[in-house]
């Protein structure tokens, strides 16, 4: 509608009255209505004031008929004012008010002219006649009449004048001069009136066009703003918009204590979904999830946005953290109920699910806005670690999500520089030769006061914060320098997180370390555990094949504890598979023993070497021999010890060898 109107106005301006659009004309009439009405009423009052003052001139120039002319003046004035004021009060149309004014103007002239023409002061009257022109000017220029009304009323004045001129005994030259003057005056004022009307209409059109353009610009601005705050795929609010909302929620919480929860939602194995079904299907999946969630969130009066890739965020004002957890759980089941097929995930589930992490406002000194998102993120991490398709609420007393983990994250940043991190090595024994053929490097971290932090606590934090990348490189370099460069040990296995394998340039950095320390790649083994990042990215496979090219062996750690182990076995040609110690420790029962045997058979049939972890007793050792295991590791063989103890052993062996040779 606005567009059509804009076009019409543009046409109007271009065609300059050639083709008049009725709609615009009507608008012009409506817009000018109030102004014209006011001008007519005010104009009439002013004109009548002047008109009545001319009574004095009547007395001076035509005193014999002055009584009549003055009476006529008052009669016309009072009638006209009465009519217009009544019209005004009764809200008459502007046209009627103008018509009344025009009628007053014409009657004012004719009403005066009729008695005045009877005067005996012919010469005075002949001068006085000239003032009739003022009525014509009034009709054409003084009032803001429509063009037609101006022409008709000034035309009547002109006609009345000619009638009077005809009746009035005057000389021919007077008639020619006055007649010409009146006609010129009529023509001139009518022309000016026409121009004025045209000008007014043009001004209106320009103003209308400017107004429409302004409205359009405002609309465009609003649309752009909407666009810049909307996620184009799902139509939900984007990160920018939801961040603003978060600020509002947060300031309400700070100012008036309205508590709220922040819920982060991550679609499980979404990369796998994209790989299997293509990006278009992936987009469709996100749209389905987004629609279902935004529909569900309505009942809680919350806000939902897309936070990035496959991550959504929900904000909801609630009174208790239990309510937030309920919403988080409802989110999980809403997506589960969609039953969108996701056949190729490796955890036995065949539909799309989400992991949900929630956090609730809690009073903390100096807490910042980002804190709640950070806490929700940590809860999300735990939800993923807990097997996905579940919701977790941030629990400040949980060591994994507590402030302690925050401290650990800070500690990890300075760990290498401040010598807070070190490596210990646990021997790995070859069962046939009974010799320690390798050692496993295990990382240790101590706090600034010397208290040690267990790897079960700091490794997940390092993985989450990315500190594992630098620590991992440091570990490989240290292993090479401490044990391998001087041949203290033949092979060292180093634990490597999938996050390291996923990072571009990891294999190159390992090659650099090998080059700098002069150690052959075959002296290193990398142990990979199915961690959080269980999806086997193509980047990981590429990195593993690059590492193999360097001669590095790849071992599968803690086999049997995760659910991706079997598919990893299929995808990667591991040199050695380390069977998790829990299987050995379960061997006291016949079923546990059978289970271990089955696992061993499976791994052996695939052609991998087998290492069993957690050998602690003679009985377990004997069992390993019975099962024909290749390598063992555990307290029975040796506890993790610092590098120096292996360096000393090697020196001792060297010394006894020298003694033997000399004997």
Query: Which stretches of the chain bind Mg ion, using CB under 5 A?
Result: 495, 527, 557-558, 613
Piece in contact with ligand C2E (CB under 6 A), picked from 116-124, 255-263, 481-489, 492-500: 492-500
Comparing CB distances to ligand C2E, the nearer of 354 and 475 is 475
Q: How far is the CB of 454 from ligand C2E (least distance, A)?
A: 6
H or E element that contains 89? helix 66-89
Say which entry of ligand C2E, Mg ion, none residue 640 contacts (CB below 5 to 8 A, set by partner kind).
ligand C2E
Region class of 644: left (phi > 0), else alpha (psi between -120 and 50), else beta: alpha
Q: How far is the CB of 266 from ligand C2E (least distance, A)?
A: 23
Which whole-number Å values give the CA distances from 331 to 165, 315, 324, 354, in the listed order? 97, 12, 11, 8
Q: Which one of 134, 442, 564, 595 is in contact with ligand C2E (CB under 6 A)?
A: 442
Cα–Cα dist 651/646, whole Å: 9
Binding to ligand C2E (CB under 6 A) within 338-357 occurs at none
Binding flag, residue 238, ligand C2E (CB under 6 A): no
Binding flag, residue 478, ligand C2E (CB under 6 A): no
- Whether 556 contacts 513, CB under 8 Å: no
- Which of 98, 237, 310, 613 is catalytic? The answer is 310
Number of residues binding to ligand C2E, judged by CB under 6 A: 22
Comparing CB distances to Mg ion, the nearer of 319 and 586 is 586
Q: How far is the CB of 387 from ligand C2E (least distance, A)?
A: 18
Cα–Cα dist 584/637, whole Å: 15
Comparing CB distances to Mg ion, the nearer of 156 and 577 is 577
Residues 6+ apart with CB under 8 A from 386: 392
Binding to ligand C2E (CB under 6 A) within 378-437 occurs at 426
Comparing CB distances to ligand C2E, the nearer of 205 and 439 is 439
Binding to ligand C2E (CB under 6 A) within 595-614 occurs at 614
Comparing CB distances to ligand C2E, the nearer of 268 and 558 is 558
Q: Which one of 110, 475, 524, 536 is in contact with ligand C2E (CB under 6 A)?
A: 475
Binding flag, residue 495, ligand C2E (CB under 6 A): yes
Distance of CA 439 to the CA centre of its chain: 51
Q: Which one of 324, 443, 469, 489 is in contact with ligand C2E (CB under 6 A)?
A: 443
Closest CA to 461 of 407, 383, 526: 407
Six token digits for residue 486: 């001087």
Q: How far is the CB of 456 from ligand C2E (least distance, A)?
A: 6
Binding flag, residue 634, ligand C2E (CB under 6 A): yes
Closest CA to 103 of 125, 77, 66, 64: 77
Which whole-number Å values give the CA distances from 390 to 321, 357, 385, in the listed order? 16, 9, 10
Q: How far is the CB of 602 from ligand C2E (least distance, A)?
A: 20
Which residue's C-beta sits nearest to ligand C2E? Answer: 634
- Whether 496 contacts 472, CB under 8 Å: yes
Closest CA to 153 of 164, 163, 143: 143
Q: Catalytic annotation on 23?
A: no
What residues are paired with 311 via a beta bridge? 266, 308
Piece in contact with ligand C2E (CB under 6 A), picked from 48-56, 79-87, 343-351, 453-461: 453-461
Binding flag, residue 459, ligand C2E (CB under 6 A): yes
Residues 6+ apart with CB under 8 A from 582: 560, 561, 614
Q: What is the dihedral of CA 125, 130, 133, 138, to 10 degrees?
A: -70
Piece in contact with ligand C2E (CB under 6 A), picked from 67-75, 493-501, 516-524, 641-649: 493-501
Binding to ligand C2E (CB under 6 A) within 531-590 occurs at 557-558, 581
Closest CA to 21 of 11, 32, 33: 11
Alpha helix positions (H), 488-642: 498-502, 506-517, 538-549, 565-571, 581-585, 590-605, 618-627
For the chain, give the number of residues. 663
Q: Which one of 473, 616, 645, 649 is in contact with ligand C2E (CB under 6 A)?
A: 616
Closest CA to 79 of 71, 91, 67, 68: 71
Q: How far is the CB of 640 from Mg ion (least distance, A)?
A: 11
Binding site for ligand C2E (CB under 6 A): 426, 442-443, 454-456, 459, 475, 495-497, 527, 529, 557-558, 581, 614, 616, 633-635, 640
Query: Which residues carry out catalysis?
Result: 310
């Amino acid at each position: 509608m606005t567009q059509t109107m804009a076009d019409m106005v543009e046409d109007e301006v271009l065609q300059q009255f050639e083709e008049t659009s009725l709609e615009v004309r009507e608008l012009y009439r409506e817009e000018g209505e109030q102004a014209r009405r006011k001008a007519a009423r005010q104009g009439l009052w002013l004109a009548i004031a002047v008109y009545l003052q001319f009574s004095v001139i009547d007395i001076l120039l035509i005193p014999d008929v002055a009584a009549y002319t003055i009476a006529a003046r008052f009669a016309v004035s009072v009638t006209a004012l009465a009519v217009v004021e009544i019209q005004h009060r009764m809200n008459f149309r502007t046209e009627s008010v103008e018509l009344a004014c025009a009628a007053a103007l014409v009657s004012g002239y004719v009403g005066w002219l009729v008695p005045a023409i009877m005067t005996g002061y012919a010469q005075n009257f002949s001068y006085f006649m000239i003032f009739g022109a003022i009525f014509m000017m009034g009709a054409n220029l003084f009032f803001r009449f429509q063009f037609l009304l101006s022409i008709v009323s000034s035309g009547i004045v002109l006609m009345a004048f000619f009638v009077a001129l005809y009746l009035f005994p005057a000389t021919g030259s007077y008639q020619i001069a006055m007649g010409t003057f009146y006609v010129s005056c009529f023509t001139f004022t009518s022309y000016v009136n026409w121009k004025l009307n045209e000008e007014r209409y043009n001004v209106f059109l320009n103003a209308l066009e400017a107004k429409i353009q302004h409205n359009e610009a405002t609309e465009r601005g609003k649309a752009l703003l909407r666009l810049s705050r909307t996620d184009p795929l799902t139509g939900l609010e984007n990160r920018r918009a939801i961040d603003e909302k978060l600020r509002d929620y947060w300031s309400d919480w700070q100012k008036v204590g309205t508590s709220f929860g922040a819920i982060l939602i991550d679609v499980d194995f979404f990369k796998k979904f994209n790989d299997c079904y293509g990006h278009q299907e992936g987009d469709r999946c996100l749209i389905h999830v987004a629609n279902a969630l935004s529909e569900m969130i309505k009942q809680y009066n919350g806000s939902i946005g897309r936070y990035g890739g496959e991550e959504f965020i929900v904000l909801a004002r609630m009174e208790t953290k239990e309510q937030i957890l309920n919403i988080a759980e409802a989110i999980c089941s809403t997506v589960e109920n969609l039953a969108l097929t996701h056949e190729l995930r490796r955890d036995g589930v065949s539909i799309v699910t989400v992991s949900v992490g929630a956090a609730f406002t809690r009073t903390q000194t100096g807490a910042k806005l980002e804190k709640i998102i950070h806490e929700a993120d940590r809860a999300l991490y735990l939800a993923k670690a807990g097997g996905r398709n579940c919701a977790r609420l941030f629990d400040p007393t949980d060591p994994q999500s507590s402030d302690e983990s925050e401290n650990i994250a800070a500690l990890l940043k300075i760990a290498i520089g401040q010598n807070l991190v070190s490596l210990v090595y646990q021997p790995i024994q070859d069962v046939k030769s009974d010799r320690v053929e390798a050692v496993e490097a295990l990382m240790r971290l101590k706090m600034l006061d010397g208290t040690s932090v267990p790897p079960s606590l700091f490794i997940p934090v390092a993985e989450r914060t990315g500190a594992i990348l630098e620590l991992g490189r440091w570990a490989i370099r240290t292993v090479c320098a401490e044990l391998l460069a001087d041949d203290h040990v033949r092979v060292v296995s180093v634990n490597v997180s999938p996050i390291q394998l996923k990072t571009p340039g990891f294999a190159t950095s390992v090659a650099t370390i090998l080059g700098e320390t002069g150690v052959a790649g075959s002296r290193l083994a990398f142990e990979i555990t199915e961690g959080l990042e269980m999806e086997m990215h193509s980047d990981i496979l590429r990195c593993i094949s690059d590492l193999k090219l360097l001669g590095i062996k790849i071992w599968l750690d803690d086999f049997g504890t995760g659910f991706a182990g079997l598919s990893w076995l299929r995808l990667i040609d591991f040199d050695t598979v380390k069977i998790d110690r829990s299987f050995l420790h379960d061997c006291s029962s016949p079923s546990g023993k059978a289970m271990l045997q089955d696992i061993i058979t499976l791994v052996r049939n695939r052609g991998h070497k087998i290492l069993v972890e957690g050998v602690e007793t003679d009985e377990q050792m004997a069992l390993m021999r019975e099962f024909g295991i290749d390598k063992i590791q555990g307290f029975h063989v040796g506890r993790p010890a610092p590098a120096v103890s292996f360096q000393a052993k090697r020196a001792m062996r060297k010394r006894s060898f020298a003694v033997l040779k000399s004997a």
